[in-house]
Structures are given as structure tokens and as C-alpha cells.
């Protein structure tokens, strides 16, 4: 086996975390869908699918390192939101939490000197930067628009697809 039982258990927990994030985004998307905010709904349905894909990457990795996949119970997500801002705020908190979870996995893999796992996790570290930036930008737009300006958010998403702002040339 190319990973310890401890690391396999941690990766299995992350499968559950990613599935939980996917379910949260379905919940947020359905909230926006019920409010006739189609662009916000589409954005979060797309995020839900992306989180499911992330979970499946962990499934494949566990199988590839000859581990046993054991998906944990996933708690039901919050399904009521006081406002659009509250829903997007929760999404940003979720992305920050997932980032912390990925960092913990990196530390576990580093502690075990498991370079295969570290290489695998590099993609997730980069992905989380993008996810936090995207949710942070969306939250700024929602706050700027205010509760009465959500159609402006819809227009913004229709134009940009929710992509984060590009870095200025040479800033990287």
C-alpha cells in the first residue's frame, strides 16, 4: 500500500467533506433557484458539481494507493438562508474550512513523507486559492449590490461566469 491507514482514513474523511460541500452548494443553489435568481442558482449548481468531482478525485487516489474507500456519514447541509449575502457568506466560510482541511492533509502527508500524496494534494492547494478568491469576490459583489440590487449580481454573473478578478500583469 502506498499510504498508511492513518492517511487513508484522513482522505476518506475528506471525501465526506467534499460531498458535504457539494450538498451545501446544492442547498444554496436551490435557495437562489426558488428566488428566481437563475445566474446565482447556476453558479452554485456548478460549484456543487465541482465539489463532487473533487470528492471523486479523492476516491480515485485512495483506490490508486491500494486503500479502501470508506465514505463517512455526511450531515445534512443548512437549507434556509436569511439573505443572498448570508448564503454566499456561508459558501465562503465553507471554502475556508475546506482549505484548512486540505492544509491538514498536506501536513499529515508531509509528516509521513508521503510524496505521492503531497503531489496529489498540490492541485487541491492551488484549487482552494481559486475557490476562496471566487467566493470572496462574489460576496463583495453581493454586498455592493445590496438586497435590492441582486439583479445586478445576476448581470455580473452572466457576464463573468463568477470568475475571480485576474491578477494584474506581472503581479504573480
Closest CA relative to residue 162, chosen from 98, 79, 103, 95: 95
Residue 59's pLDDT is: 98
* Cβ-count burial 144-162 (b if 16+ within 10 Å, e if not): ebeeeebeebbebbeeeeb
Percent of the chain residues topping a pLDDT of 70: 94
**Segment 114-121 mean pLDDT:** 97
Using pLDDT thresholds of 50, 70 and 90, give the confidence band for residue 163.
Answer: low
Residue 160's pLDDT is: 87
Query: Structural domains in the chain?
Result: 5-71+80-159 (1.20.1260.10)
Q: Is the pLDDT of residue 165 over 70?
A: no
Q: Is the pLDDT of residue 167 over 90?
A: no
Say what the pTM is: 0.92
- How far, rounded to the nearest angstrom, does the alpha carbon of residue 121 sit from its chain's CA centroid? 14
Residue 172's pLDDT is: 43
Amino acid at each position: 500500500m502506498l499510504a498508511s491507514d492513518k492517511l487513508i482514513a484522513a482522505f476518506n474523511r475528506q471525501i465526506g467533506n467534499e460531498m458535504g460541500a457539494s450538498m451545501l452548494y446544492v442547498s444554496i443553489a436551490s435557495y437562489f433557484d426558488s428566488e428566481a435568481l437563475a445566474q446565482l442558482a447556476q453558479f452554485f449548481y456548478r460549484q456543487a458539481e465541482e465539489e463532487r468531482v473533487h470528492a471523486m478525485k479523492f476516491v480515485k487516489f485512495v483506490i490508486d494507493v491500494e486503500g479502501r474507500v470508506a465514505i463517512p456519514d455526511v450531515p445534512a447541509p443548512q437549507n434556509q438562508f436569511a439573505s443572498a449575502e448570508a448564503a454566499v457568506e456561508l459558501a465562503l466560510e465553507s471554502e475556508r474550512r475546506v482549505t484548512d482541511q486540505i492544509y491538514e492533509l498536506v501536513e499529515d502527508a508531509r509528516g509521513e513523507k508521503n510524496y505521492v500524496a503531497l503531489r496529489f494534494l498540490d492541485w487541491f492547494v492551488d484549487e482552494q486559492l481559486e475557490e476562496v478568491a471566487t467566493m470572496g469576490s462574489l460576496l463583495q459583489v453581493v454586498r455592493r449590490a445590496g438586497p435590492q440590487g441582486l439583479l445586478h449580481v445576476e448581470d455580473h454573473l452572466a457576464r463573468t461566469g463568477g470568475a475571480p478578478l485576474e491578477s494584474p500583469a506581472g503581479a504573480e
